[in-house]
């Protein structure tokens, strides 16, 4: 059998335990000194009361004591080595575990301003508002998202983080469905919202990549920072901002929308502004004109940020082997007792 291949297929999970063999060796070396100074009891104290029944047997007494001492040192050393080897947790390595590609952490920045009540979408044959469409698509997306964590930022005015990146996809979907227009104010602090996300990324201690996805109609942005200034802060943080324009840019349905929404003035989506924000950070911009386009946009964003695992560092299956050195130590202890008892009996003859 190839020794190199054999060693490569076995490893120790905690090899540091093997260093404890040196204290054992030092103890065995200085043990005679401790016994001489009566700091330790003699291991072979039973031989002091051995009854010598034949004059010639006294010649074998010294050799018997030396043999017993040698056996004690040998078995102590070997048993200690086996126990330390078991503590080091030897394992046999099997085939590599195929780790599927995962997406980067995702931070959703969702517009909840008053313009999200405008009904310019058709869903299942019914006219729905922008917020309802956003919730339906994000629910589907979060269910199949392959990344570990999703966070949520909402804005009207001001913007606020309602969920830091979390692995709890059920909680993410629950919060998405609880969003309502004007829940964070009637205005749209667009620039402030992406700036809040940028600050969070800077303070995040985890090493995983975080991607920002802004879903907004960008209608009449407000706040302390302009949308362009907010996007620049995202770029300075080294993050990527993707934008999805929600709502229609057409004014053909203004009268219909206004009549259905009471006295609310129709606000068209500012697609160009969202495109400029994404370009500043190296991201992509999409216009969600219907269900399919929004779903496709979210899928493309996820595919772009898939993190392929390095096969060289992918884990391998492990078969624990610690039971074998434990059994070996137990077997040697039994053999030790049998041999010493046999020699003791022989010396009494």
pLDDT of 313 over the 70 cut? no
Q: Please classify residue 50 by burial: count the beta carbons closer than 10 Å to its beta carbon, then call 0-12 exposed, 13-18 middle and 19+ buried.
A: middle
State pLDDT tens for residues 77-95. Answer: 889 899 999 999 999 888 7
pLDDT of residue 237 exceeding 80: yes
pLDDT of residue 82: 92
User: Rounded to an integer, what distance in angstroms lies between the CA atom of residue 330 and that of residue 262?
Assistant: 86
* Alpha carbons 142 and 285: distance in angstroms, whole number: 20
Q: Which residue has the higher pLDDT, 245 or 305?
A: 245
Q: Residue 154, exposed/middle/buried by CB under 10 A (0-12, 13-18, 19+)?
A: buried
For the ranges 61-75, 159-173, 218-232, the lowest mean pLDDT is seen at 61-75
Which residues are CB-neighbours of 32 under 8 A, at least 6 positions away? none
Tokens of 168: 């709890």
Query: For the chain, what percent of residues have pLDDT higher than 70?
Result: 77
Q: Which two tokens stand for residue 207?
A: 């090493």
Residue that the structure tokens 């313009």 belong to: 115
Is 90 exceeded by the pLDDT of residue 190? yes
Q: pLDDT confidence of 46, banded at 50, 70, 90?
A: very low
* Structure confidence by residue, pLDDT tens digits, 162-184: 999 998 989 999 999 999 999 88
278 phi, psi to nearest 5 deg: -65, -40
Q: What distance in Å separates the CA atoms of residue 321 and residue 295, rounded to the nearest whole number?
A: 49
Confidence of residue 240 (pLDDT cuts 50, 70, 90): very high
Kindly report the backbone phi and psi dihedral angles of residue 298, in degrees, each rounded to the nearest multiple of 5, phi listed first: -65, -40
Cα 293 to Cα 96, 303, 322, distances in angstroms? 38, 15, 56
| CA distances in angstroms from 337 to 47, 70, 86, 327, 340, listed in the order given | 15, 14, 22, 16, 5
What CA–CA distance (Å, rounded) separates 141 from 247? 18
Pick 342 or 137 by higher pLDDT.
137
For the chain, the helix, strand and coil percentages under 3-state DSSP, each to the nearest 5: 50, 20, 30
Token match 């749209």: residue?
A: 188
**Mean pLDDT within 313-335:** 85
CATH class for domain 102-307? alpha beta
- Where does the pLDDT of residue 26 fall: very low under 50, low under 70, confident under 90, or very high at 90 and above? confident
Which pair of structure tokens corresponds to residue 266? 């129709």
The mean pLDDT of 9-35, rounded to a whole number, is 86
pLDDT given at position 56: 53
Least confident stretch, 156-160, 235-239, 290-294: 290-294
State mean pLDDT over 253-276.
65
pLDDT category of residue 64 using cuts at 50, 70 and 90: low
- 323, 85 Cβ separation under 8 angstroms: no
Per-residue pLDDT band for 57 (boundaries 50, 70, 90) equals low
Which residue ranges make up each domain of the chain? 3-96+317-347, 102-307
Tell me the mean pLDDT in the region 45-61.
50
pLDDT tens sequence across 267-312: 788 999 999 999 999 999 998 887 788 888 888 888 888 765 555 5
* 101 contacts 306 by C-beta, under 8 angstroms: yes
* φ, ψ at 281 (rounded to 5°): -110, 0
- Least Cα distance to 142 among 116, 111, 107, 113 occurs for 107
Predicted pLDDT at 258: 42
- The CA radius of gyration of the chain, in Å to the nearest whole number, is 37
């Amino acid at each position: 059998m190839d020794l190199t291949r054999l060693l490569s297929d076995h490893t120790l999970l905690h090899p540091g335990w093997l260093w404890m063999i040196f204290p054992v060796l030092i103890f065995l070396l200085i043990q005679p000194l401790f016994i001489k100074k009566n700091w330790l009891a003699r291991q072979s104290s039973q031989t002091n009361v051995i009854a010598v029944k034949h004059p010639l047997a006294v010649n074998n007494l010294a050799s018997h004591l030396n043999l017993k001492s040698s056996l004690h040192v040998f078995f102590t050393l070997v048993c200690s080595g086996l126990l330390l080897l078991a503590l080091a947790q030897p394992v046999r390595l099997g085939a590599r575990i195929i780790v599927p590609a995962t997406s980067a952490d995702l931070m959703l920045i969702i517009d909840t301003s008053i313009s999200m009540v405008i009904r310019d979408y058709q869903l299942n044959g019914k006219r729905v508002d922008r917020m309802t469409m956003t919730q339906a698509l994000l629910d589907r997306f979060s269910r199949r998202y392959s990344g570990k964590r999703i966070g949520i930022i909402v804005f009207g005015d001001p913007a606020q983080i309602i969920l830091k990146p979390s692995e709890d996809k059920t909680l993410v979907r629950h919060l998405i469905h609880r969003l309502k227009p004007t829940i964070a104010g009637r205005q749209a602090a667009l620039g402030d919202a992406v700036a809040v996300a940028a600050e969070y990324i800077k303070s995040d201690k985890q090493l995983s990549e975080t991607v920002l996805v802004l879903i907004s109609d960008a209608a009449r942005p407000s706040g302390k920072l302009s949308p362009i200034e907010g996007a620049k802060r995202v770029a300075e943080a080294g993050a990527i901002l993707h934008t999805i324009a929600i709502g229609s840019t057409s004014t053909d349905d203004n009268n219909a929308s206004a009549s259905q929404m009471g006295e609310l003035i129709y606000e068209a989506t500012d697609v160009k502004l969202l495109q400029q924000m994404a370009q500043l950070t190296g991201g992509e911009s999409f216009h969600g004109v219907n269900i399919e386009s929004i779903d496709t946009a979210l899928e493309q964003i996820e595919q772009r940020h898939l993190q392929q695992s390095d096969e060289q560092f992918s884990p391998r299956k492990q078969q624990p082997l610690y039971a074998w050195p434990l059994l070996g130590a137990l077997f040697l202890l039994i053999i030790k007792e049998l041999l010493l008892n046999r020699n003791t009996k022989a010396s009494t003859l």
